[in-house]
Amino acid sequence: MTDAVFRETAAEPRTQSVPLAHVSLELGHLYMEDFEAGAGRLREHFALVRPWVDAVRASAAGNGKRPRISTCFLIDDYFTRFSSPAELVPLLLAEADRCGLTVDYLARESGCAVADGVQIAAAVEARLVELPPPGSDGSRPPVSETGWLANGERTPGSAGAEAMAGLTTWSPPNETAARRHSVFADVELWDDRDGRRTWSCPFLAAVWQLARLGLLRYRGEPVLRPRPWPDGGFPHDWDALPPLIQLSPSAAPFAAYRTCSVLPSRFLPVEHAVRVVLSQIQTDPDALRQVAERSAREGVPVPDAIADRASYVFYAGP
Amino acid sequence: MTATGDTGTAEPVCGEVRTCLLQTSLSLTASAAEELLRLREDERVRLSERPNLHAVSPDVLTGVDCRLPTGSGARVRAIGTVAARAVLTEGRVLQATAYFRAAGAGPEQRQPWGHYLVRPGVLEPFGGLPVRAVADGILAGTRQAGELDLGAVSERLLTAVLRHQLLDQRPPFKSRRTRLRWVALRTRDGQAPSIRRFTLAADGLRTVELRVPEEIAPAAVAGLCEDLALHDWLLTTLVRMVERSRPGSADGYAVVTALRPAVDHLLHLWMPRARVAGALSPLWEVLEREPGFTRQWQTLVQRIRDQLALQAIPLPREALTAR
Amino acid sequence: MLVFAASDKGGTGRSVTSANLAYRRALAGDDVCYLDFDFGSPTAAAVFDVPGALRGIEAGGLHTYLQGKVSEPERIDVWAETEHEVLRHRPTGSGNLVLLPGDRSGGEFAVGRDALRRCVDLLLRLNAEFDLVVVDLSAGRSYAVDMALEATSRPAMRGVEARWLVYHRWTRQHVIAAAGLVFGDRGIVAGGVDRGHDAERLRGAIRFVRAAVPDPESPLWSQVPPPQSAWMRKCDQDLDELAADLEAGFSMVLGSVPLEPVLQWREQLITDEDVLASKVANMETRQALEELAAKLTDHESWGAT
């Protein structure tokens, strides 16, 4: 089987690896209304972010070697559309530059739903393995509410299709493996309206994290790969902009062993939801192994759990 | 990270495979097989066309947190994921295997779920694992409520695949499913693999106990057991088909109609060891000696060919009536 | 092939007749499975004389399965577990005869999405294994009938041949009620069309079975005075006309089962021993059952379905 003369490639598929930095540092994640508020808001944002970026760089340099850090910025073009790349992107880059920050990679949020003709969000959803509450013996599939994902057991009765027994008393929801008291979270993954599926912000943000952690694959091929964009001209239509572009040619790789996102504290609930999602996704085992082996070789082993590879700085701000 | 790390203690691999005829009038082609087994859009189906058409789905995981069955009555709680995969041979015989590797020891407290998800197909016990007791429990065939239900996991996958739109639900003949439950204990220091037990129980249940070197991957052990289950199913099905054709009965036409599906759909499927990892293939030889799987198969095949040959000879009426 | 047995009202002998059909087919060499979907009162085990499951089984039957509490419903091998004197000796050449009983405490229940999926999976699985799957449905326009219509309308089931037998007694009320069950506003055909069945195909897969039919020509009635005999013939004729008007006429009838004390009172399988040796059952009844059993799969009886 292993040292065979005869081989069939379709029988032994390979998973491609991606280049990896140490840290993928997110300089912000703004909604269209933030852009609408004008250049002043952007300047304010970057000025608040700057000290934390320095702190992250300093902390990554802790082990002596010069760390590979790439920066990225995500623009929401999925839920609302505003202006055009030609107007907004140069403004954004200029304001970042004014605060001494460089945006290495720029992504569009809709690229986390569909990129390069691949339904990424749908594929990631199919990889959810819901956490089993104690007593799950495999005989029944998890009690899922379609389009929702929880970190424990819901209040009974809400999901039951079998209306057999009439009498049900209320019992509380329950976070699985809680530390004594529950912090139960139930995350909406998508909604379907007018025949169109809209992925939720936390779910797309979870896909974004997976991309930054180098763990997204589609039939073995990396997806949401950065496209070089050295010349600086930007199109007048968001759809004409590739989902992920590399602005600085000499930047460290987009994907990294760990991620850090510097965000205003209003993003806290969203990022908690991202953790709920990330902790229940079974990522491509080959991709996982590639990252684990390489980080271990470099002496910076990654934590087992995917969710623990993401870190945050929440600053008080708009 | 220690996703592939062993704790060094004996870590048995256990599973259950269910085997059935694919419910479709014609065998599936390679591309249809690929479509059928694409359980997840973003993962490839492993497809091999030599020496026969064989397609393997990606593994899907089911999270569990429950007691493991034990022969001694000891209570062992385990947490993790059971892996399941579907396999289609020659576009005709469908199998679903649920399997896991039991870690020799685990933390005394449940870890965050992400810890288990990076160890697909591994169950970690609370504390140490009483290996022998768990092996006996899995093989015993009686399951107490609340204990791990491997059969349900493989059954769920099998029925999900059988519901696929590609299938016309018009199989060429009626047949039963079989279940094969297996446990592979680990050997060390270059000891050769061996089969300790192969038991045919009632209700289509078979149990197999193996000894397999530590370095052999759980998926390879599952592959061996799928091969055993496939051939056991073929034998079981062919025996039943010959029985039902009532050879020797007056109605020659009925005999031909009953046996013809065997020729069309089954006889070419016999190919022991086609998909078995090299290190495990000697295990087949044991079964070839005793009870002699291939010997029984060849006898049945010969019997079918003889019956069909007899029916093909137009005997003069006198020859029959003169007796 | 799936055969759903429905009836307009209770007391038509639906369960016992269907069980007899299952038995006849198994004797002829088919592998047969009988499902007790009579959720209100699971009694099939009594017909097959399986004592452990007389009023349904304690747990693990079809109710428990459909509610998702077990992954497979209990199966009873009738040849092996019956206490019936004659059935215990399985004839050579006979096929398997398996009963899937209901639960003792199970009642009618609303059918949710999950129960429906389980029902489809079960029917697919049994259809893969058995030549004939007889599903005995609760009387009237029941949840069981809904579930059967819904399950057979699923895309996964489109390749599975399904037929419907609608049992009714040979009386004015019963003929009207049975026709209503099939063709009425909330009937099987309308309900099926609502769920995506093709009306013509579904109609083509339904046949009536007349139960407990007194035959005016039978020797049983040969002694009655001529006026009574004439009256009986007239009634019979009127019923025929009524049935024809209600589209339950001759072309829609698969067969009739004579009025038979053994079916009415003992509610058991009619064995050849009952007919030939102890002679408690009539030869005509046995013949009628055998013909019905043969017609279940006979092309001519089902036209172009």
Dump pLDDT digits (tens) for B112-151.
Answer: 999 999 999 999 999 999 999 999 999 997 788 899 999 9
Under the banding of pLDDT at 50, 70 and 90, the label for residue A6 is confident
Residue B104, pLDDT > 70, answer yes
Chain A nearest CA to B117, separation (Å): 6
Which residues does C92 contact at the CB level (< 8 Å), separation at least 6? Answer: none
Nearest to A217 among B42, B62, B149 (CB): B42
Reading chain C (305 residues) residue by residue, the pLDDT tens digits are 999 999 988 888 899 999 999 999 999 999 999 999 887 777 788 889 887 766 566 778 898 888 888 888 989 999 999 988 888 889 988 999 999 998 876 666 667 888 899 999 999 999 999 999 999 998 888 889 999 999 999 999 989 999 999 999 999 999 999 999 999 999 999 999 999 999 999 999 999 999 888 877 777 777 888 888 888 888 889 999 999 999 888 889 999 988 888 777 777 888 888 888 888 888 888 999 999 999 999 888 887 54
Nearest to B174 among C121, C128, C159 (CB): C128
pLDDT at B298: 96
Task: Return the CATH number at C289.
Answer: 3.40.50.300
pLDDT at A127: 95
Q: What average pLDDT does this structure show over A59-82?
A: 87
Under the banding of pLDDT at 50, 70 and 90, the label for residue A158 is very low
pLDDT at B26: 95
Task: Search chain B and give the residue with CA nearest C31.
Answer: B174
Q: What average pLDDT does this structure show over B162-191?
A: 92
Dump pLDDT digits (tens) for B280-291.
Answer: 999 999 999 988
Q: Is residue C191 part of a domain?
A: yes
Q: Buried b vs exposed e over A203-221: b needs ≥16 C-beta within 10 Å?
A: bbbbbbbbbbbbbbbbbee
- Residues 235-294 on B with a CB inside 8 Å of C are 244, 246, 249
pLDDT at B202: 77
Under an 8 A CB cutoff, do B176 and C121 touch? no
pLDDT at B315: 65
Asked if B3 reaches chain A (Cβ–Cβ under 8 Å), the answer is yes
What's chain A look like in SS3? Answer: CCCCCCCCHHHCCCCCCCCCEEEEEEEEEECHHHHHCCHHHHHHHHHHHHHHHHHHHHHHHHHCCCCCEEEEEEECCCCCCCCCHHHHHHHHHHHHHHCCCCCCEEEEHHHHCEECCEEHHHHHHCCECCCCCCCECCCCCCCCCCCEEECEECCCCCCCCCCCCCCCCCCCCEECCCECECCCCEEECEEEECCEEEECHHHHHHHHHHHHCCCCEECCEECCCCEECCCCCCCCCHHHCCCEEECCCCCCCCCEEEEEEEEEHHHHHHHHHHHHHHCCECCCHHHHHHHHHHHHHCCCCCCCCHHHHEEEEEECCC
B39, B12, B33, B45: which is closest to B121 by C-alpha? B12
Asked whether C145 and C188 are in contact (CB, 8 A), the reply is: yes
Asked if C60 reaches chain A (Cβ–Cβ under 8 Å), the answer is no
Residue A159, pLDDT > 90, answer no
Task: Let me know if A232 is exposed, middle or buried by CB neighbors in 10 A (0-12, 13-18, 19+).
Answer: exposed
Under an 8 A CB cutoff, do C128 and B170 touch? no
Asked whether C174 and C168 are in contact (CB, 8 A), the reply is: yes
Could you give the CA distance from residue B223 to residue A224 in angstroms, rounded to a whole number? 34
Under the banding of pLDDT at 50, 70 and 90, the label for residue A91 is very high
- Residues 267-306 on A with a CB inside 8 Å of B are 278-285, 288-289, 292, 295-296, 301-306
Chain C nearest CA to B173, separation (Å): 8
The CA-CA-CA angle for residues C177, C181, C185, to 5°, reads 110
**pTM for the model:** 0.91
E-state strands within chain B: 13-21, 46-48, 54-56, 60-68, 76-89, 93-102, 105-106, 122-125, 127-128, 178-187, 194-200, 205-213
pLDDT at C104: 73
pLDDT at C110: 66
Nearest to C155 among B155, B165, B246 (CB): B165
The residue length of chain C stands at: 305
Supply the ipTM of this predicted assembly.
0.90
Task: Search chain B and give the residue with CA nearest C95.
Answer: B244
Q: Domain range spanning residue C128?
A: 2-216+253-297
pLDDT at B316: 63
Pick among B117, B216, B273 to test the A interface (most A CBs inside 10 A): B117
The backbone torsions φ and ψ at residue A281, rounded to the nearest 5 degrees and listed phi first, read -105, 130
Nearest to C71 among B151, B169, B175 (CB): B151
Residue B303, pLDDT > 50, answer yes
pLDDT at C113: 82
More confident residue, A144 or C278: C278
Nearest to B65 among A134, A220, A280 (CB): A134
- DSSP for residue C62: H
Q: What average pLDDT does this structure show over A279-304?
A: 94
List chain A residues with CB under 8 Å of C114: 161-162
Which range has the worst mean pLDDT, A119-128, A169-178, B42-51, C264-273? C264-273
Q: What average pLDDT does this structure show over B200-223?
A: 92
B121, B287, B275, B278: which is closest to B213 by C-alpha? B278
More confident residue, C259 or B227: B227
- DSSP for residue C228: H
Chain B nearest CA to A58, separation (Å): 24
Under the banding of pLDDT at 50, 70 and 90, the label for residue A157 is low
Q: Is residue C183 part of a domain?
A: yes
Residue A152, pLDDT > 90, answer yes
What number of helices (H) and strands (E) belong to chain B?
9, 12
List chain B residues with CB under 8 Å of A129: 61-63, 81, 117
List chain C residues with CB under 8 Å of A165: none
Q: Total domain count for chain C? A: 1
Q: Is residue C222 part of a domain?
A: no
Asked if A134 reaches chain B (Cβ–Cβ under 8 Å), the answer is yes
pLDDT at B4: 38
Residue A204, pLDDT > 60, answer yes
| Residue C132 to residues B109, B236, C128, C162, Cα–Cα distance (Å) | 52, 21, 10, 10
Residue B273, pLDDT > 50, answer yes
Asked if A128 reaches chain B (Cβ–Cβ under 8 Å), the answer is no
Under an 8 A CB cutoff, do B1 and A127 touch? no
Under the banding of pLDDT at 50, 70 and 90, the label for residue B30 is very high
Nearest to C159 among B21, B149, B168 (CB): B168
Dump pLDDT digits (tens) for B31-90.
Answer: 999 999 999 999 999 999 999 999 999 999 999 999 999 999 899 999 999 999 999 999
